[in-house]
């Protein structure tokens, strides 16, 4: 998703596809900017402790240096007002984890003249709205919806199937936890997972 001065949003229902493609769209947008000149900055959520704390790492192994933060409101303080004022573009990865996403994007684009590139999940594993990603669509100049390939049949995958029995909304993981699936295999897969959970709960109660 691009918010400008611009906001560009890249969203997806599949965590593996979105993470794997989040940085490359940002990289394409950043191509005309000078990294060494300090005109571009990447931010990711500090909740994602996989791979490298100081880099966005895709599932393909590509690395992009970034600043890991708990909230976006602290970004300006972290880099300093002078460095912030020199920025042309700010990229935000794992945007669903930032509660202050809307306020930050609105101010940075409308008042500070920044181009904001946002990548994140639009829905969780239950296909419910995830964080504030959908809230910033009205701010965006453009929105790109990503899909993957269903691991079970090869069709276009719009959804994420969680393979573990955890039920919390925020569960950071890769292919060990999630898999991209089409609508048919999402529905059937959720049925199998829910049935297995009920059997497990009954066994625990009997024990």
Annotation says 99 is catalytic:
no
- From residue 171, give the alpha-carbon distance in Å to each of 162, 191, 199: 10, 20, 23
In the block, which residue shows the tokens 């009205």?
138
- From residue 183, give the alpha-carbon distance in Å to each of 15, 45, 79: 16, 29, 43
Max distance between CA atoms of the chain, in angstroms, equals 65
Residue 120 near residue 13 (C-beta atoms within 8 A): no
Instruction: State the catalytic residue, choosing from 94, 99, 151, 166.
Output: 94
Residue 129 near residue 155 (C-beta atoms within 8 A): no
In the block, which residue shows the tokens 């950071």?
172
Could you give the residue numbers annotated as active site?
A: 94
């Amino acid at each position: 998703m691009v918010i400008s001065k611009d906001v560009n949003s890249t969203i997806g229902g599949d965590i593996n596809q979105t993470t794997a493609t989040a940085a490359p769209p940002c990289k394409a947008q950043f191509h005309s900017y000078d990294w060494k000149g300090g005109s571009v900055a990447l931010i990711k959520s500090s909740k994602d402790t996989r791979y490298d704390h100081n880099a966005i790492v895709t599932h393909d192994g590509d690395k992009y240096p970034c600043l890991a933060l708990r909230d976006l409101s602290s970004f300006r303080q972290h880099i300093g007002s002078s460095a912030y004022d020199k920025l042309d573009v700010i990229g935000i990865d794992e945007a669903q984890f930032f509660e202050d996403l809307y306020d930050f994007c609105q101010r940075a684009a409308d008042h500070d003249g920044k181009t904001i590139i946002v990548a994140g999940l639009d829905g969780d594993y239950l296909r419910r709205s995830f964080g504030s990603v959908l809230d910033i669509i009205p701010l965006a100049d453009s929105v790109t919806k990503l899909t993957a390939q269903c691991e079970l049949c090869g069709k276009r995958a719009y959804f994420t199937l969680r393979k573990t029995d955890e039920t919390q909304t925020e569960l950071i993981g890769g292919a060990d936890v999630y898999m991209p699936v089409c609508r048919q295999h999402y529905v059937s897969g959720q049925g199998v997972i829910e049935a297995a959970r009920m059997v497990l709960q009954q066994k625990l109660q009997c024990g």
